[in-house]
Structure 1
């Protein structure tokens, strides 16, 4: 009887250990190792069948750099759900356009370029806008921030842009900005330099890959850190933890 009990306890312990191991990392993990683009893959339509095409994404001086062209996306190999993503970025030269895409799935779903996703805009002086790319999300004051309801949509010429709450949160050009994106369930929250600039709900996706864009301007990233959020109860509403 004692032997049977011991075996049962051992089996239970093994099951628990396996279950926790399958849950993935419990703490923050860097999506960029500072040296390589391991864990990511590029989708650049202009490079199809043209191995001589210059890369759109490189590692330089310990930073991940989007060179801006040819246009495309750098996409995580893994999918993620329920997390906080901390991004530190800057436009080292002229200001321009870029974005972080969350809940990305089908590649080239829009205009044979953009993966199905919700884009968190980084366009200079518009950081934190949402763009709906074959996925949708809602915010308070939708008509004021998205336009007339009859124009809303998730593709083509539809009203896919949802304005943020403030365009005054970015640092001056050339300085580092800190963007924090929390994706929990069907909600997406965005902070820029500590200011809550967007909070969406009823998102039509709750998991997916993460992507950064090459969309015309050079952007440097020195941090892409993901912290899993295991349950809603683990996170109190309000400010995210301060960046290091």
Structure 2
């Protein structure tokens, strides 16, 4: 009996070690894309700033948070390109609810309305967090016609049905509280969680890598965490 117990314990420990090593192999070290001090590693693309040098940037650092001041509208974009990762964003609307978004697989600037970069947007808009918006790129989800509208109207350009509704609108916390959005991009699959709830999952995305962008669009938003963990894609 003692020998069997010892062997069982050894097998349990061995299994735990193997699991830990496999997990470590899949998920690499997390990188904070926002350092809490300045906007190093990012660049700002705001069309209104092109012609008027007096226009102030809508992206600042305040009290250790990256703040989108909503106006003028535009984006703050990572300098680096990323592929196969888990992105964790903690955000809140400090004053009034409004619109904003996290863009993944961002590439060509200003392909939509001369402002939005080519990308897939993971919506942060109050009561709609987790919607997909197709911006020059496309993605597929189950029940597409229910969540996107008639097939003949689908598209990723102006005038087309670019919004794909999320699976739940009750995952957000009350106004002023911090929310956590997790976006996992592996290959051509994009998954989104809001405060731990799976709110969207798409496949056959037309892009599998790109920059990450945050919006200035409609309401002030504070970001206290923007962190990325690379994922090693396992191939059989």
Specify if TM > 0.5.
yes
CA gap of 1:231–1:56, structure 2 versus 1, over 3 A, is same
The answer on 1:50 being equivalent to 2:52 is yes
Find the aligned partners of 2:233 and 2:152 in 1 and give their Cα distance: 36
| Structure 1 residue runs without a partner (length 5+) | 1-24, 234-244
Alignment match of 1:128 (pick from 127, 130, 152): 130
TM-superposed CA distance for 1:26, in Å, is 3.1
Cross-structure match for 1:116 = 118
Give 3-state SS (helix, strand or coil) of 1:143's partner. helix
Contact 1:31 1:39 in 2 (8 A): yes
Alignment of 1:1-244 (within 5 A): 26-232=28-234
Find the aligned partners of 1:142 and 1:47 in 2 and give their Cα distance: 38
Deviations 1:22-76 (A, max 9, x none): xxx9310000010000000000000003221111100000000000000000000
Pairwise CA RMSD: 1.0
Give 3-state SS (helix, strand or coil) of 2:147's partner. helix
Give 3-state SS (helix, strand or coil) of 1:204's partner. coil
Give 3-state SS (helix, strand or coil) of 1:139's partner. coil
Find the aligned partners of 1:156 and 1:32 in 2 and give their Cα distance: 32
Moved over 4 A (4+): none
Give 3-state SS (helix, strand or coil) of 2:204's partner. coil
Give 3-state SS (helix, strand or coil) of 2:51's partner. coil
TM-score scaled by structure 1? Answer: 0.84
Contact 1:184 1:232 in 2 (8 A): no
Contact 1:130 1:164 in 2 (8 A): yes
Deviations 1:197-223 (A, max 9, x none): 000000000000000000010000000
Find the aligned partners of 1:203 and 1:232 in 2 and give their Cα distance: 18
TM-score scaled by structure 2? Answer: 0.87
